[in-house]
Homo-oligomer: A and B are copies of this chain.
């Protein structure tokens, strides 16, 4: 008789594993328990549906339950919520929301926790008011979309100037709303150093977004967000304060937890309990530069961890080496990206580092459409190792962060990047790519 794998959670953390499990030598019956109405959707795409660039929410669904059933012979149970894990009996307790009150127990040999994350909701007065929305599920998205398409939704306040905050601010601006962004930090995108954060603030203001930075939110009422710097009228409030791991089940079962309550896993994505695995926004990651565990709820990480979990569950062998915290977004024509450590993060990790910030162009200076690009490199004193990079610039800027991400991951030095045989033609860069210009500048500072 085949082993039974139960997957809790129908999104990337859980589902990306399944095709890997199917390829391995150990055969499994697979049951997926998803409490919601959707599987495998791109939460990262929600701002672009809300903003009207992508026509329908359905476009964000990579694979429906029907497709999983057909392609992988998986028993996908929608509206079924796992409410308890019995480690001794190796059973899950499940609520079937379709038949109210029905609860059943389901045995497992392997269990993959892909329970995901949930938007952080600080315990502020009024946080539970109906105008306050997080951005995570397609149901959240449907609510936001209804607001965006509603002509009475004139004033939108975004709380938090992170990636989601920025993207939702652009989305509602595109819809013609007046948008205010409130953040407790003096520059948006906390992973950027203030020098580059200021460029983002400038781009936001140019795009008509009203930025109130260094401001503390005190609470909400039915028509406004209250801050220590006055109140802002709001027909809608969007929370962009990050995502917390959804690890209640794991905690209740006594599994070891890591940073921010994320589920602790080893290199193979195995939790502290035998045969129980975790991947995605619910679990922790290892940071390759700090050497510390952290919680990094990103779709890329979820997919990689889930792939590794799936290979191992299927009887293969794979390990997840870790992350360097690469992220990218755009605001209108301004592309913004980062990887590795910021100056502040490098100092906190105990590194002594220099930071070089240069301005260049995304194409040869004489080439039409060459856009400005600012690159900041964080480089360790002594050996010159690249610890992090940040980029803000016009079209064509952002994806250059991948070059830096590999440099950070593989412990390259600024000299390594200067010497790297990167591509050049006038429509694509100067003869020294901007990343190399920043590396040369860093060498001068070392």
Chain A residues close to B by CB (< 8 Å)? 12, 42, 44-45, 48, 53-54, 59-60, 163, 288, 298-301, 303-304, 307, 320-330, 335, 337, 339, 364, 366-368, 396, 398-403, 405-407, 409-410, 412, 416, 418-429, 431-433, 435
Contacts and interface: CB of A to CB of B under 8 A. Distances in A.
B44 A424 contact: yes
Contact of A422 (B288, B321, B402, B433): B402
16 contacts: A42-B364, A48-B367, A54-B368, A54-B426, A298-B424, A300-B421, A326-B421, A328-B424, A329-B425, A398-B423, A399-B428, A403-B403, A405-B421, A406-B410, A409-B420, A410-B416
A402 B321 contact: no
Contacts of A298: 424
Contacts of A163: 425
Nearest to A56: B366
Nearest to A336: B425
Contacts of A304: 418-419
A435 B323 CA distance: 17
Contact of A330 (B307, B427, B433): B427
A304 B424 CA distance: 13
A160 to B, nearest CB: 17
Contacts of A427: 48, 330
Give the number of copies in the complex.
Answer: 2
Nearest to A424: B300
A53 B300 contact: no
A431 B412 CA distance: 25
A53 B326 CA distance: 35
A341 to B, nearest CB: 13
A48 B421 CA distance: 23
Given A45-B426, A405-B422, A406-B420, 8 more contacts: A12-B431, A42-B364, A300-B431, A330-B425, A402-B403, A405-B420, A405-B423, A409-B420
A368 B48 CA distance: 10
A427 B368 CA distance: 23
Contact of A431 (B48, B303, B327, B425): B303
B328 A423 contact: yes
A418 B305 CA distance: 11
Interface centre among A320, A407, A419 (most CB of B within 10 A): A419
A435 to B, nearest CB: 8
Contacts of A329: 425
Given A320-B419, A419-B321, A328 B428 contact: yes
The 10 closest A-B pairs by CB, nearest first: A328-B423, A59-B366, A326-B421, A402-B403, A406-B406, A300-B424, A324-B421, A402-B422, A326-B423, A45-B426
Contacts of A339: 421, 423
Contacts of A429: 399
B426 A48 contact: yes
A320 B426 CA distance: 24
A364 B45 contact: yes
Nearest to A323: B421
Contacts of A325: 421
